Amino acid sequence: MLVTPKRGCGVAVHRMTEARPDSITPESAALSSGADRGSVDRLVTRGFWDARHERHVEETRDARESAPGLPGRLCGRCRTRLGAERGESYREFLAQRVFRRYLPKAANWRCLEIGCAPGRNLIAFHRLFGYQPFGVEYSPVGAAETRESLAAAGFDPAHVIETDVFDSMFQRDHAGRYEVILSRGFIEHFTDPRRAVAAHVNLLAPGGFLVCTIPNLRGWSYPFLALLSPEFLRSHNTTIMRRARYRALFEGLGLGCLYCEYSGMFGLFGLALRHERTWRGAVAKAADLLGEAADLALFTLLRGRSLETPWSPNLIYIGRKEQA
């Protein structure tokens, strides 16, 4: 079921032309290194992503071995009463409501996520819409993690392709193959994100849907990150984190805009600092607790309501590729 374009959308053919972050720890060295960025001007390196995904594997294992505290259990109950998953943040709950409004269910459609580690977005889209999950990931650690996630959920791990999405052979062999392209926290890691968007569109089948989200680091997170983790801000192209600038990235590429808007109420980013044994780590741990408390309050008091503003923690674009 499709809907008419919403406010924030203009109307926007195709062509083609990579990555994502947190804060200091092993990744910080990769942020400052110019090696490994390749012909596309990336703001982070493969080494950064390898270190981040290795840490995520450790965090996932630790989470399985430890029971959630009282705030986590209370928040989990509030989430499930509203139809959300137990570990889902309020901003993700709101984003999924937008996705359900604009995307159809289709069990035979292929959904390719660009920058797919650790695989939870693909599994969530299958749960919501029935799409068959595929992913492309250029970090070997991230690709292995995603294969493990998909296999555990009953999907073919061979659907995860370990390569650079900008690779010319990949772009040629996969052009126009996917009914849905999913991109969550990817294009903001390039000095020229429009080239990244063009690579997404090239892989999309005519009439297919592009779902692209980025964090809004010019919202609530900005003062926190500017003070504690300026290197994290530098790993993002914050110039595109305003609705008009973001929408302009998709114009003229053969996409009809269905939705382009801020999303969510509150969110902090860059909290990998909590792994540091420093004063920054202590502040980040406190921010973690604040975020958990805010999530509990939002689920309890707002119960699915939201007010999108330039302070919202995310930007969402949904577009449909023109028919050939």
Tens of pLDDT, residue by residue over 227-272, are: 888 888 899 999 999 999 999 999 999 999 999 999 988 776 655 6
CATH number of the domain enclosing 106: 3.40.50.150
In a domain, 14, yes or no: no
In a domain, 220, yes or no: yes
In a domain, 6, yes or no: no
In a domain, 186, yes or no: yes
Q: Which residues pair with 256 in a beta bridge?
A: 11, 320
Task: Determine the structural domain holding residue 309 and report its residue range.
Answer: 26-321
What pLDDT does residue 13 have?
Answer: 32
What pLDDT does residue 295 have?
Answer: 72
What pLDDT does residue 28 have?
Answer: 33
- B/e letters for 114-146, b = 16+ CB within 10 Å, e = fewer, are bbbbbbbbbbbbbeebebbbbbbbbbebbbbbb
In a domain, 105, yes or no: yes
What pLDDT does residue 212 have?
Answer: 98
Which residue type sits at 199?
A
- Would the CA dihedral through 117, 187, 306, 286 be positive or negative? positive
What pLDDT does residue 26 have?
Answer: 35
Q: Which two tokens stand for residue 254?
A: 């053969």
What pLDDT does residue 68 have?
Answer: 57
In a domain, 11, yes or no: no
In a domain, 21, yes or no: no
What pLDDT does residue 223 have?
Answer: 85
In a domain, 273, yes or no: yes
Query: What residues of the chain score a pLDDT lower than 70?
Result: 1-8, 10-39, 56-87, 268-275
The number of domains in the chain is 1
